[in-house]
Structure 1
Amino acid sequence: MAERDVYYRRAKEEGWRARSAFKLLEIDANFSVLQGVQRAVDLCAAPGSWSQVLSRVIYERSEKKDDIRLIAVDLNEMAPLPGVIQLQGDICSTTTAQQIITHFEGQKSDIVVCDGAPDVTGLHDLDTMMQSQLLTAAILITTFVLREGGNFVAKIFKGGDTSLIVAQLELFFSYVRIHKPPSSRAASQEAFVVCKGFKLPADYVPTMDVDADPETLTPTTRKLLPFLVNGDLSGFDPVDTETIAI
């Protein structure tokens, strides 16, 4: 039986909503991204398998269960999950970021995860570009809601812009790796960025305005936003491929 059927069967047996749950479990096993987490945000959460992982793992490990706050964000409604607050909203909206912080009672998240992906067309370059745009949107809202020192995990599609993605993330995180979990199908172009040690650059002000006049932006903001707008790769140096362990 194919490997994907093994994970599909395990997901059914263990009560996960999708086989993708194992991807986050494996990432945590390798990188300890959920260690000490009390507040978490799952972007593009439907159907909810990563929110399930957050709920099970964080509640199981925490000694202060009353302090746990887990928020699942998606444009679409999904079936309720124990201990998870569902927020229907657009991850490209500042309002959504403000709602998340309100649910955290003014605090910020320990981790942001995003397993979202656009509808796949089968055209590799187009799919990669669309996924990169989704990832950039996830990074933008993360700069609003993630605490200093926090973690970030998100899906990417491997392609020619991988070095750019790493360079963007290294603006905000002290540790950035690309990882392909064993439960990710070998034939799939997906991988995951695993980022730790979040810190806002001194000249960066969180924004969702990708159409802003570049002349009004700080140097860090100009490095982050142009790719989302028009694919401009200027300003980035090549990334050492030894740091990209796919």
Structure 2
Amino acid sequence: MGKSSKDKRDLYYRKAKEQGYRARSAFKLLQLDDDFHFLQQAVRVVDLCAAPGSWSQVLSRRLFPQSSDNSDRKIVAVDLQPMSPIDNVITLQADITHPKTLQTITELFEGKKADFICSDGAPDVTGLHDLDEYVQQQLILSALQLSTCLLRKGGNFVAKIFRGRDIDMLYSQLGYLFEKVICAKPRSSRGTSLESFIVCLGYNPPANWEPKLDVNSSVEDFFQGCDIGKLRLEDKCPNYHEEPRSIATFIACGGLSSFDSDATYHVDTSTPALDPVQSPTNPPYKKALELKRRGKMTRAI
């Protein structure tokens, strides 16, 4: 039997099981789309860092309603971890930073551009907020590199962020590529968490910049042509100027009638227990945990 934790008692966790979602994070994308409607006209969609697949389930249900013609619509979900199959979703076990992944998605879309790309990925947090925010921003930039190669002009991009004191620099960088950048906090995201979501609407890259994904190039080299990279030391003298900084509009998504993720609600005790929607995937550190339980992992002195 699993441990009793706040997640197990959270109402969104229970609602996810009742509605067949693999994780409570499905409601975050649902509430974001209810406010920004970025899936309304979407035809080709990519879900990055998709495991276990709750966002892909939302995409599948919204893009493939039973009452309409869905022949031209495609959803591609990418993650390093294996995923159980999802209706109407093509799953790829691949690295989002590798050019082969870009090539595979392009072939699946038959050379056409994507309308919407999202990423709910996050690193294993350390508790050191500055470090966690930095690593998360690097993950966003990695997802952004792939997105700039796949998105059509006017397309939309959504990604998870950790809000901190230096986050406005990321807003400023994204502002070079999108017409509108908004920081959104869904009601299903706990108020005690640093987590928010960056909603980038209207992809509009510089006319003379052609993104090219190269595994041997740095993030700064990739974005060199559109001026969102880091300012070099030699550029500071003699006419040093600060990088343009901006603060994105902050929006709380989900109406007041939505459930509060930090509140406690009474649950009918007669409600039957539900089995997990998807069995847990094998994490890359599973072997290390097994060795630790057996006492075979010792600290070097």
TM over 0.5: yes
Are the equivalent residues in 2 in contact too, given 1:203–1:218 (CA < 8 A)? Answer: no
Shift of 1:117: 0.3
Structure-to-structure mapping, 1:1-246, within 5 angstroms: 5-60=10-65, 63-209=68-214, 210-211=217-218, 218-220=224-226, 222-224=227-229, 226=230, 236-239=243-246, 241=247, 243-245=249-251
Q: In 1, are the aligned partners of 2:142 and 2:219 still within 8 Å (CA)?
A: no
Which whole-Å CA distance do the structure 1 matches of 2:242 and 2:149 have between them? 24
- Offset at 1:212? 8.0
The more displaced of 164-173 and 37-46 is: 164-173
Offset at 1:207? 3.1
Using the alignment, how far apart are the partners of 2:96 and 2:160 within structure 1? 15
Query: Whole-Å Cα distance in 1 between the matches of residues 109 and 44 of structure 2?
Result: 8
Tell me the secondary structure at the aligned position of residue 148 of structure 2.
helix
Q: Return 5+ residue gaps in structure 2 as ranges.
A: 1-5, 232-240, 253-301
In 2: Cα distance, 1:96 partner to 1:236 partner: 32
How many angstroms does 1:169 deviate by?
1.1
Question: Aligned-pair distance for 1:219?
Answer: 4.5
In structure 2, what is the Cα distance between the partners aligned to 1:157 and 1:213? 21
Shift in alpha-carbon separation, 1:180–1:212, aligned structure 2, 3 A: closer
Q: Is the 8 A contact 1:223 1:235 kept in 2?
A: no
What is the deviation of 1:193? 0.6
Q: Where in structure 1 are there 5+ consecutive unaligned residues?
A: 228-233
TM-score after normalising by structure 2: 0.73
| Cα separation, 2, equivalents of 1:181 and 1:84 | 25
State the Cα RMSD in Å. 2.4
- Residue 63 of structure 1 aligns with an amino acid whose one-letter code is S
Does structure 1 retain, via aligned residues, the 8 Å contact 2:46–2:76?
A: yes
Could you tell me which amino acid in structure 2 is paired with residue 195 of structure 1?
A: C
Look at both structures and tell me which one has the larger radius of gyration over its CA atoms.
2
Counterpart-to-counterpart distance in 2, 1:103 and 1:62: 25
Percent identity, aligned pairs only, is 48
Superposition TM-score, scaled by structure 1 size? 0.88
Runs of 4 or more, structure 1, over 6 Å off, are none
Shift of residue 243, structure 1, vs aligned partner: 2.7
